[in-house]
């Protein structure tokens, strides 16, 4: 059930006013004034003699123009076929809407461009995610490399230290063998 405010708004939206001999929605007068100022009486060559039919067609054109002006581009694109159909239907009645077809052609070109751009934007976003993951992996691998280099340096030091220990032991063994040889020789001389 509608509230009183909603009924008042609906009544105002449907209120008809006289505009250049046509009874049109009051909410469309501003748009029609701009259209007529720029393009003249676009309904002058209409095949319908009835001003009521012409007024309805003008209301349709006004609604299309308002949607093009005030809707978000995504909403316009989602309704594009409907807008195009409405303008084509009005055009059949010989209302001058060439200018509006030109605007719709621009919207269509934007849609085509947008359709081409969208996969590129998605690819850019995906490559950004891959780049982020790659950088993270690079940092992890770099940390592993640094740790491995540190372990390598430590192992190299240990090898060097063990070589020194080995040389000392070798020197001690040689010294000990020399001493043993000396004492053996000394003992051999006693007997």
- 3-class secondary-structure state, position 3: coil
CA distances from 178 to 74, 92, 167, 181 (A): 97, 122, 16, 5
Task: Summarize the confidence of residues 69-93 as an average pLDDT.
Answer: 89
Q: Residue 113 phi/psi, 5° resolution?
A: -60, -45
Count other C-beta atoms under 10 Å from residue 148's C-beta: 10
CB distance 46 to 9 below 8 Å = no
Q: Give the percent of the chain with pLDDT over 90.
A: 45
What pLDDT score does 60 carry?
95
CA angle 34, 81, 40 (to 5 degrees): 20
What pLDDT score does 70 carry?
87
What pLDDT score does 77 carry?
82
CA distance 65 to 30: 11
- 3-class secondary-structure state, position 24: strand
* pLDDT tens digits, 12-39: 667 999 999 999 999 999 999 999 999 9
* Local structure of residue 121 (DSSP, 8 states): H
CA distance 19 to 30: 10
Task: Summarize the confidence of residues 154-173 as an average pLDDT.
Answer: 88
Domain ranges, ordered by start, for the chain? 4-96
CA distance 40 to 60: 17
Average pLDDT over all residues of the chain? 87
* pLDDT tens digits, 33-58: 999 999 999 999 999 999 999 999 99
169-179 exposure pattern, b = at least 16 Cβ within 10 A, e = fewer: eeeeeeeeeee
- Residues paired with 19 in a beta bridge: 22
Task: Summarize the confidence of residues 77-95 as an average pLDDT.
Answer: 92
Per-residue pLDDT for 61 more than 90?
yes
Residue 125 structure tokens: 């976003």
Residue 82 — very low, low, confident or very high, per pLDDT cuts 50/70/90?
very high
């Amino acid at each position: 059930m509608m509230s009183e405010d909603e009924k008042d708004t609906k009544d105002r939206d449907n209120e008809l006013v006289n505009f250049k001999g046509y009874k049109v929605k009051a909410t469309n007068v501003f748009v029609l004034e701009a259209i007529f100022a720029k393009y003249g009486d676009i309904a002058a060559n209409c095949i319908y003699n009835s001003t009521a039919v012409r007024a309805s067609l003008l209301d349709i054109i006004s609604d299309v123009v308002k949607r093009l002006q005030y809707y978000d581009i995504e909403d316009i694109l989602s309704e594009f076929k409907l807008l195009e159909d409405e303008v084509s239907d009005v055009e059949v009645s010989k209302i001058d809407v060439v200018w509006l077809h030109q605007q719709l052609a621009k919207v269509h070109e934007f849609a085509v461009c947008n359709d081409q751009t969208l996969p590129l934007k998605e690819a850019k976003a995906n490559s950004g995610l891959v780049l982020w993951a790659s950088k993270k992996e690079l940092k992890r691998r770099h940390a592993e490399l640094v740790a491995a280099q540190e372990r390598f340096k430590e192992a190299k030091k240990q090898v060097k230290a063990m070589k020194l220990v080995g040389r000392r032991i070798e020197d001690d063994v040689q010294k000990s063998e020399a001493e043993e040889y000396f004492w053996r020789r000394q003992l051999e001389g006693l007997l």
